[in-house]
Chain A
């Protein structure tokens, strides 16, 4: 049985995606199916969106 409290879908490939424990808003996670980087936008209920491109990274 999939748990609706953690189970969601990858917005890109629609693959099953289980939010890991302790996930937080803004966190970057990789989709196990398509490998795309996803951003957690809600934990409860779990919601994901495609991670934005890192705009500028000149500090690193």
Chain B
């Protein structure tokens, strides 16, 4: 009989990541409930829940955020926590957490109007990267090379007018040869990392970047584990730039994809995730 530790996995579609996680639970003979976020009904009057620990694997950020808050308020331990999801879902909150913890990050400036954003861009010097505070997979990033481009894109964003475009998150452009590091931290420990190399400066593998193995070292371990602590993350992926001056943490992701990183790193990432969840449940 499989062991019942009160574990549940919250997700919607079963992508290869979730499938591998389910298989890892089964291989360890540990039961888990599946919670499909498309079927969830949160009853705010219900204060006790039939799980002790929930591994969150949602695709949809706001569903994850609200459900995690609901669980955490009801003493259900979630991996990751609501706080982590909240911080990592917002690039600005992530940068604030990292800078507060003294972790090296690229220079970032935030402004709220097109006028102040232009001043901020000129202060940083070209090129800069303009990011939406909320967003994923390298979408809606703009690299701005000169003042003409800055004015055009700020005008464009003002016209779009939505909330996410009224916070201008401006980052110095790090020339890392179209390459960055994605590092996987599970239970506070760096377990593996890949280089993502692209033909384009946006290196995300979801956009066709090529992956190769990173040999782990103490500096990388220290910065990645510190970044995970800064966002209170149980299981997070840290995006890191390698520069002549050392590593810089760019972003932290809380529901990471890893299907393309297992063979490259030689690390059983889903196995490590599941072992950690079981350890937390035990």
Flag B12-28 by CB within 8 Å of A: 1 or 0 each.
11111011001100000
For the complex, is B254 an interface residue (Cβ under 8 Å from A)? yes
Distance in angstroms from B202 CB to nearest chain A CB is 14
Within 8 A of B (CB), among A3-20: none
B36 to A58, Cβ gap below 8 A? no
Q: How far is the CA of A55 from the CA of B62 in the complex (A)?
A: 10
- Given the known interface contacts A24-B19, A24-B22, A27-B19, the answer about A57 and B136 at a Cβ–Cβ threshold of 8 Å is yes
B59 to A55, Cβ gap below 8 A? yes
Name B13's contact: one of A22, A26, A59, A60 (CB within 8 Å).
Answer: A26
Q: How far is the CA of A21 from the CA of B34 in the complex (A)?
A: 19
**Residues of the A chain whose Cβ atoms lie less than 8 Å from the Cβ of B128:** none
**Residues of the B chain whose Cβ atoms lie less than 8 Å from the Cβ of A57:** 59-61, 136-137
**Residues of the B chain whose Cβ atoms lie less than 8 Å from the Cβ of A28:** 13-16
B256 to A60, Cβ gap below 8 A? yes
Distance in angstroms from B56 CB to nearest chain A CB is 9
Flag A19-60 by CB within 8 Å of B: 1 or 0 each.
000101111100000000001100000000001101111111
For the complex, is B261 an interface residue (Cβ under 8 Å from A)? no
A24 to B14, Cβ gap below 8 A? yes
Name A26's contact: one of B36, B137, B254 (CB within 8 Å).
Answer: B36
Q: Interface residue tally of chain B, by bracket?
A: 20 to 34
A58 to B136, Cβ gap below 8 A? yes
Which A residues are closer than 8 A to B by beta carbons? 22, 24-28, 39-40, 51-52, 54-60
Which B residues are closer than 8 A to A by beta carbons? 11-16, 18-19, 22-23, 34, 36, 58-64, 85, 88-89, 134-137, 206, 253-257
A-B CB contact pairs (8 Å), 21 listed:
A22-B23, A24-B14, A24-B22, A25-B14, A26-B11, A26-B12, A26-B18, A26-B34, A27-B13, A27-B14, A39-B13, A55-B59, A55-B60, A56-B59, A56-B60, A56-B61, A57-B59, A57-B61, A59-B58, A59-B59, A59-B254
